[in-house]
C-alpha cells in the first residue's frame, strides 16, 4: 500500500474542498493518506494527522495543491528522501505542476493505472562562507539569487567558476539557476530558456551596469564562487524566491549541483515546448 502525503497551499481559494475530495479519492483507491496536523484539523480528520517532522519520512508520494511555489517548497523538503511529486495546479503559470483542476480525476485515474513517467530535475546547493566558516547551507530547485536590498546602492559580485575568474559584475544582483529555473527569475532578467532535462548551470546578472555582461552557461559540475563586494549590509541571498539569508560584505557564496534531485510525475504526453508555448502566452 502506497502512502500519500497531501500538501495544500492553505492560502488558495477552494483548496480545502479539493483536498477533501483528494483524500476521499485516494482512500477509496486503497492508498494510505497522511496530512500535517494543521490540514487534518481544518478537514476534521484527526486520524490522518502526522507531526510535520515525521510526515515526509512516512510517505511514498507527495501531492501538492497550489502553484509552482507550493511545489518548490515541498521539493526542497523531500529531496533527501527521493520521493516523487505530483503537482496539481491551482495557481497561474504552472511550469512544474502537472494536473489542471479541470482534468483532476481523469488524470488521477491514469496515475492509478501507472500511466505516467518520472521527470528528474537537477537541484543546486548553496553555502554561505564567512571568515572561512560555513554559516548556512541551502537547497534550490529553481535558483540561487544574490541581490541588493530595496534601497541599497550598487553591489559588485566577484565571480569564479572552478577557481577561474569569470568577471566582477556591477549589478543589482546575480542569478545562478538550473535549467528548470531558466523560465523563472532568470527569464525575467533576460536569460535564455533552457530545456529542463539538460544538465548545466546558468549564470544571469540582474540589471548589470555594463553592456558586456550577458548570461553564461556553465558545465553541470562547475563550482561557482561569488564574493560580495559592497559597503553596506543590505545584500540578500534567496533560494527559489522563498528562503532568504542576509549577507555581509566579503561573504562568499559557493553554488554547485546538488546530489539530490526532484522527481516530478508526468501523466500527460506533452513536450516542454507545448508547455512553454501555452504558459508564455497566458
- What residues pair up with 118 in beta bridges, in sequence order? 265
* Sequence-distant (≥ 6) Cβ neighbours of residue 220 within 8 angstroms: 122, 199, 200, 201, 257
**What single-letter DSSP state applies at residue 200?**
E
Phi-psi region of 158 (alpha: psi -120 to 50; beta: other; left: phi over 0): beta
pLDDT band for position 277 (50/70/90)?
Answer: confident
**Phi and psi angles of residue 20, each rounded to the nearest 5 degrees, phi first:** -60, -40
- Cα gap 219→119, rounded to integer Å: 21
Residue 212 has pLDDT above 80, yes or no: no
Q: What is the mean pLDDT of residues 213-237?
A: 93
Q: What is the mean pLDDT of residues 253-267?
A: 97
**Known catalytic membership, residue 68:** yes
pLDDT band for position 281 (50/70/90)?
Answer: confident
Residue 93 has pLDDT above 80, yes or no: no
Domains of the chain and CATH, by start: 3-116+267-280 (3.40.50.10330), 124-259 (2.60.200.30)
pLDDT score for 92:
72
Interval 29-72: pLDDT, tens: 999 999 999 999 989 999 999 988 789 999 999 999 999 999 99
Nearest one of 21, 27, 58 to 43, comparing CA atoms: 21
Candidates 51, 53, 60, 68; catalytic one: 68
- Cα gap 111→108, rounded to integer Å: 5
- Cα gap 244→237, rounded to integer Å: 6
Q: What is the mean pLDDT of residues 183-191?
A: 94
* Centroid of chain to Cα 253: 19
- Higher pLDDT pick, 196 / 274: 196
Interval 112-161: pLDDT, tens: 999 999 999 999 999 999 999 999 999 999 999 999 987 777 899 999 99
Nearest one of 8, 203, 193 to 97, comparing CA atoms: 8
Mean pLDDT of the chain: 93
pLDDT score for 282:
65
Measured in residues, the chain has a length of: 282
- Higher pLDDT pick, 63 / 13: 63
Question: Residue 123 in contact with residue 178, Cβ under 8 Å?
Answer: yes
Angle between helix 104-112 and helix 15-28 axes, rounded to 10 deg: 30
Amino acid at each position: 500500500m502506497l502512502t500519500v502525503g497531501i500538501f495544500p497551499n492553505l492560502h488558495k481559494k477552494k483548496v480545502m474542498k479539493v483536498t477533501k475530495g483528494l483524500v476521499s479519492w485516494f482512500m477509496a483507491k486503497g492508498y494510505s493518506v497522511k496530512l500535517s496536523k494543521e490540514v487534518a484539523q481544518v478537514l476534521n480528520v484527526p486520524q490522518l494527522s502526522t507531526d510535520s517532522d515525521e510526515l515526509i519520512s512516512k510517505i511514498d508520494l507527495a501531492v501538492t495543491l497550489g502553484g509552482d511555489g507550493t511545489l518548490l517548497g515541498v521539493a526542497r523538503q523531500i529531496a533527501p528522501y527521493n520521493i516523487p511529486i505530483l503537482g496539481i495546479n491551482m495557481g497561474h503559470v504552472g511550469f512544474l505542476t502537472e494536473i489542471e483542476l479541470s482534468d483532476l480525476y481523469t488524470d488521477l485515474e491514469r496515475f492509478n493505472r501507472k500511466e505516467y513517467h518520472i521527470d528528474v530535475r537537477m537541484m543546486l546547493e548553496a553555502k554561505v562562507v564567512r571568515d572561512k566558516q560555513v554559516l548556512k547551507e541551502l537547497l534550490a530547485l529553481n535558483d540561487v539569487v544574490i541581490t541588493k536590498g530595496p534601497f541599497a546602492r550598487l553591489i559588485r559580485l566577484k565571480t569564479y567558476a572552478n577557481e577561474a575568474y569569470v568577471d566582477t559584475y556591477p549589478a543589482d544582483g546575480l542569478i545562478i539557476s538550473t535549467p528548470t529555473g531558466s523560465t523563472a527569475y532568470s527569464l525575467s532578467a533576460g536569460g535564455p530558456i533552457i530545456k529542463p532535462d539538460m544538465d548545466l548551470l546558468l549564470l544571469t546578472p540582474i540589471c548589470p551596469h555594463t553592456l558586456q555582461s550577458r548570461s553564461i552557461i556553465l558545465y553541470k559540475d562547475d563550482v561557482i564562487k561569488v564574493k560580495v563586494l559592497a559597503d553596506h549590509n543590505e545584500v540578500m541571498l534567496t533560494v527559489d524566491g522563498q528562503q532568504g539569508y542576509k549577507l555581509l560584505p566579503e561573504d562568499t557564496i559557493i553554488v554547485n549541483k546538488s546530489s539530490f534531485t526532484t522527481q516530478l510525475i508526468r501523466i500527460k504526453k506533452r513536450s516542454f515546448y507545448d508547455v512553454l508555448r501555452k504558459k508564455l502566452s497566458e
